[in-house]
A and B are shown apart, each in its own frame.
Chain A
């Protein structure tokens, strides 16, 4: 099978539509992962009886099972309990929750890197528990982990391809659909790969730059 430039040129708009969906999944999933991950990290760090252990167990469960299994579960099992969501929403939830478990670990490292004296000074100033977190500890903890979180965003961007398996029409699924319509796979899959690279490579460079800036 030879490379057909005209065909490649013709399918680019459709692939770009797929890429837009992939980016949407990544952004929405990142918001879920970053927020939920932070909540998990704070709950675990605060050692709330029972709750912290339950959350810890959930994190172990999420990290110990494949994203694809979790996505299938949300997509096929939840509807039988009356919860039917569009494929895209299901996919965003799956990937967001999955990565929240990893983000939580990253935040934990950041929180633990804040010296005990910072907590003590905040306590001595009579700040509320909430203000100790939001005013003193988290700004320092999060700054320290921004590059690590960024790397997970890139990993999410690539992992979003898994959601093709639950019929989300993102970049990979689009490429596959073009292939099965036209019986030509080499152009759509190659271009899809290039599009992934086109986004993830500059993003990775950006994060490395950020790492440097935050280190000084």
Chain B
């Protein structure tokens, strides 16, 4: 049996009818950057455990969805719920007010993110990158955190590199560390933001392999912004085609990627696959 993340995943009750209960819910979410209207009144439900790939041309607002969920970007309008709780608002004295840092920080514990540029902490060893959050967020003891981090790094195939600095690793290895780091808090929702776009082509496979492993062996909810169409087809339950701030087509990968209905999707896929 291949190494698996199964033991790492948060244990949610998985009866089939509740498994599709929305863990992430966008309602009327709108965002502009100056003149650029990146998201237009977005409605989106993602079921618990669902693996959703988001495709589309760059600048279409895909990444903004992930960044809002990670609380790195604030919606101008609309509501985002995670696990049934509003992300950007909270209740205070019976009134709904803008979330403060404490609320946001608590919400972030349910969500993990892997970035295009890895964003490992360059001044820390690989191991310390992974134990940072367990120690300082969960208050885990050093011994336990180290042991767990070694397990996680073992699962991404980097058990021999724990004492190195990120700069001593290849891009693919760095991204695998970043995945292990994001898993260390056992988030319920994991966000992958073009995690292979900054990699040399020959390093893409090792990173996708790890993501695939996560998708197949955990019940983590996953949202992936990706340009790897074959990969998206393999691991996704659902694919969203994004253009100009809106979902223009969605459905199972067999439909969206292989028999798209929308003209824009056809053109996009043609352009990507010919590349």
Contact = CB atoms under 8 A, between A and B. Distances in A.
A123 B108 CA distance: 8
Interface in A129-156: 129, 131, 135-136, 139-140, 143
Contacts of A123: 70-72, 108
Nearest to B111: A124
B133 interface: yes
Interface size class of B (residues with CB under 8 A): 20 to 34
B185 A120 contact: no
A124 B111 CA distance: 8
B101 A121 contact: no
Contacts of B178: 121
Contacts of B105: 126, 128
B219 interface: no
A51 interface: no
B74 interface: no
Interface size class of A (residues with CB under 8 A): 10 to 19
A121 B112 CA distance: 10
B70 A128 contact: no
B137 interface: yes
Nearest to A117: B119
A117 B70 contact: no
Interface in B56-108: 70-72, 101, 105, 108
A118 interface: yes
Contact of B133 (A120, A126, A139, A143): A126
B122 A140 contact: yes
Given A129-B101, A135-B136, A124 B112 contact: yes
Given A126-B108, A128-B105, A135-B136, A120 B122 contact: no
Contacts of B115: 117, 120-121, 124
B137 A120 contact: no
Contacts of B150: none
B117 A127 contact: no
A121 B136 contact: no
A143 B101 CA distance: 28
A141 to B, nearest CB: 10
A125 interface: yes
Contacts, number: 58
Contacts of A126: 105, 108-109, 133, 137, 185
B211 interface: no
Interface of B: 70-72, 101, 105, 108-109, 111-113, 115, 117, 119-123, 132-133, 136-137, 178, 181-182, 185
Given A124-B70, A126-B105, A127-B132, 17 more contacts: A117-B115, A118-B119, A120-B115, A121-B120, A122-B121, A123-B70, A123-B72, A123-B108, A125-B108, A125-B137, A125-B182, A126-B133, A126-B137, A127-B136, A127-B137, A135-B121, A135-B132
A21 to B, nearest CB: 37
Which of A115, A123, A126 has the most CB atoms of chain B within a 10 A radius of its CB?
A126
Nearest to A143: B123
A140 B108 contact: no
A121 B119 contact: yes
Contacts of B101: 129
Nearest to A120: B72
A138 to B, nearest CB: 10
A121 B119 CA distance: 6
A120 B136 contact: no
Contacts of A124: 70, 72, 108, 111-113, 115, 182
A139 B181 CA distance: 19
5 contacts: A117-B117, A118-B121, A120-B72, A136-B121, A140-B122
